[in-house]
């Protein structure tokens, strides 16, 4: 299953590519290099903001995973210490 963040990244990259291609076509007749660079820079800024948001969410997921790992380790230690650890069925 594809993550929504990956889907957003793909959409942003698609927009960047489309903007660059369209800008390159217009460059020969209407748009100067500065205009094309501005569009590309704007698209990259939007992509960077989205990547920052994704990284923040990933940090939360990583924290929960680490908490679960520590909990699991503590449970195992407690079961072994109290001789209540039973083999899986």
pLDDT in tens, 40-88: 888 889 889 999 999 998 999 999 999 999 999 999 999 999 999 888 8
Rounded to two decimals, the pTM is: 0.47
Band (pLDDT 50/70/90 cuts) for residue 13 is: confident
- Phi, psi dihedral angles at 18 (to 5 degrees): -60, -45
Question: Alpha-carbon distance 74 to 87, whole Å?
Answer: 17
Q: How far is CA 20 from the centre of its chain?
A: 23
């Amino acid at each position: 299953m594809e993550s929504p963040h990956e889907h957003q990244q793909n959409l942003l990259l698609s927009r960047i590519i489309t903007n660059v291609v369209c800008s390159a076509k217009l460059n020969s007749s209407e748009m100067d290099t500065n205009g094309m660079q501005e569009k590309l820079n704007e698209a990259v800024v939007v992509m960077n903001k989205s990547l920052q948001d994704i990284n923040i969410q990933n940090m939360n997921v990583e924290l929960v995973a680490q908490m679960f790992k520590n909990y699991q380790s503590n449970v195992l230690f407690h079961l072994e210490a109290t001789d209540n650890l039973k083999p899986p069925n």
